[in-house]
């Protein structure tokens, strides 16, 4: 995987042509909704408040901001009574230069209602430290950590936080899903599992079109969402691909969910990818008490991850992967997955 790591390091120095919206045809047609299916989870796509640039606090920040913005938010699953954080990173240019000691305005779209609440102004960090959140994300600078439990705790449902840099109006978004008791979650890898190949994203990053999704993959995830299951898209891609990845999922017709990447510049591969994903699922269990009910992957590292997480092997589906699946299910075609796995529950989540 060293050539891929080198390629990602080189691509990290390129602007993301598809970051705002990848070039793609209309989302593929999905299977019709079954009787009794749960309502679609809201997309939370209301236009954000207009940001009026008011200038930076520091001269250095103006120099940093001369590069293209690479801001990204950190999605989260949380519980109503537990910690609730909005976490984002603000950086620019080919070297991912941090925006430090600058103001960021925060807004909340509570319950995807269409009405934005102003959460106030926050200052980006400049320290290298381990911030005391339940995510364990080291603060290497340019980050905002907003505690949502101080008088603005979120209730069960899907929420969006929009954060805009006061200096130039550029922004990042993140999504938080507050899980109800008994919530079920499905976790899926992206590259090679949902995309047409393991390395398909590289073509997009050098100016090609976005990769295709495997036939039936989006419809399978839609069926899961229609049965009340929450989606966690867990990829070892680097953090600077968050916006690009989120736009691809939407364009290909995948249902809204929570997206997690690594927080590094090159992503993770092989054993490192398995370690990263295992830790992510440990955080999910510690934070919410949830072990995923379904899992989808395509690499031996996914088998290692899902086995370590304690996911039932009969609910782990591996796309065109041979070898020891540790009781997992070979998946040769998403269109052939048994519909009985995705039957609607007695009650749909809020």
* Three-class secondary structure assignment of 170-224: CEEEEEEEECCCCCEEEEECCCCCCECCCCHHHHHHCCCCCCCECCCHHHHHHHH
Q: Are residues 219 and 301 in the same domain?
A: yes
Residue 138's pLDDT is what? 76
154/285 same-domain check = no
CA pair distance 99, 103, nearest whole angstrom = 10
Give the pLDDT score at 35: 42
Residue 14 has what pLDDT? 52
pLDDT at residue 41 in the model: 85
Whole-model pTM: value is: 0.88
160: helix, strand or coil: strand
Given a cut of 50, the residues of the chain with pLDDT beneath it are: 1-4, 7, 10, 17-35
> 229: domain CATH number?
3.40.50.1000
In a domain, residue 7? The reply is no
Same domain, 197 and 138: no
Q: What pLDDT, on a 0 to 100 scale, did the predictor assign at position 334?
A: 95
**Domain count within the chain:** 2
CB-CB contact of 16 with 247 (8 Å): no
User: Does 164 share its domain with 238?
Assistant: no
User: In this structure, what token pair is assigned to residue 8?
Assistant: 């990602």
Task: Give a yes or no: residue 37 inside a domain.
Answer: no
pLDDT given for residue 282 in this prediction: 95
Range of the domain at 254: 181-342
Collect all residues with Cβ–Cβ distance below 8 Å to 235 and sequence separation of at least 6. Answer: 189, 190, 191, 245, 259, 260, 261
The count of C-alpha atoms lying within 13 angstroms of the C-alpha of 273, restricted to the half-sphere facing its C-beta, is: 25
């Amino acid at each position: 995987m060293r050539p891929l790591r080198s390629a990602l390091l080189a691509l990290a120095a390129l602007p993301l042509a598809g970051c705002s919206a990848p070039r793609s045809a209309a989302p593929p047609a999905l299977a019709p909704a079954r009787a009794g299916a749960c309502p679609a989870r809201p997309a939370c796509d209301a236009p954000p408040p207009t940001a009026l640039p008011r200038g930076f606090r520091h001269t250095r920040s103006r120099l940093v901001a001369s590069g293209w913005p690479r801001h990204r938010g950190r999605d989260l699953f949380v519980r109503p009574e537990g910690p609730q954080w909005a976490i984002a990173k603000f950086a620019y240019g080919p070297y991912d230069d941090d925006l430090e000691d600058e103001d960021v305005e925060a807004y909340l779209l509570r319950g995807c209602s269409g009405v934005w609440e102003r959460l106030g102004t926050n200052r980006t960090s400049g320290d290298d430290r381990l911030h005391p959140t339940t995510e364990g994300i080291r603060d290497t600078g340019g980050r905002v950590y907003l505690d949502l439990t101080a008088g603005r705790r979120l209730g069960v449902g899907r929420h969006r936080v929009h954060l805009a840099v006061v200096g130039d109006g550029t922004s990042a978004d993140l999504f938080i899903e507050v899980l109800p008791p008994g919530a079920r979650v499905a976790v899926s890898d992206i590259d090679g599992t949902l995309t047409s190949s393991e390395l398909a994203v590289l073509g997009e990053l050098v100016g090609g079109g976005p990769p295709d999704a495997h036939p039936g993959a989006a419809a399978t995830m839609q069926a899961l969402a229609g049965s009340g299951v929450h989606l966690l898209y867990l990829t070892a891609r680097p953090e600077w691909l968050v916006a690009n990845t989120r736009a691809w999922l939407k364009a290909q017709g995948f249902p809204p969910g929570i997206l997690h990447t690594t927080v590094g510049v090159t992503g993770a591969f092989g054993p490192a990818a398995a370690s990263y994903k295992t830790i992510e699922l440990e955080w999910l269990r510690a934070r919410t008490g949830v072990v995923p009910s379904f899992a989808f992957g395509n690499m031996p590292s996914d088998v290692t991850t899902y086995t370590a997480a304690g996911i039932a092997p009969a609910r782990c589906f591996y796309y065109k992967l041979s070898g020891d699946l540790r009781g997992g299910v070979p998946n040769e075609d998403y269109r052939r997955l048994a519909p009985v796995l995705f039957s609607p529950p007695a009650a749909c989540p809020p």
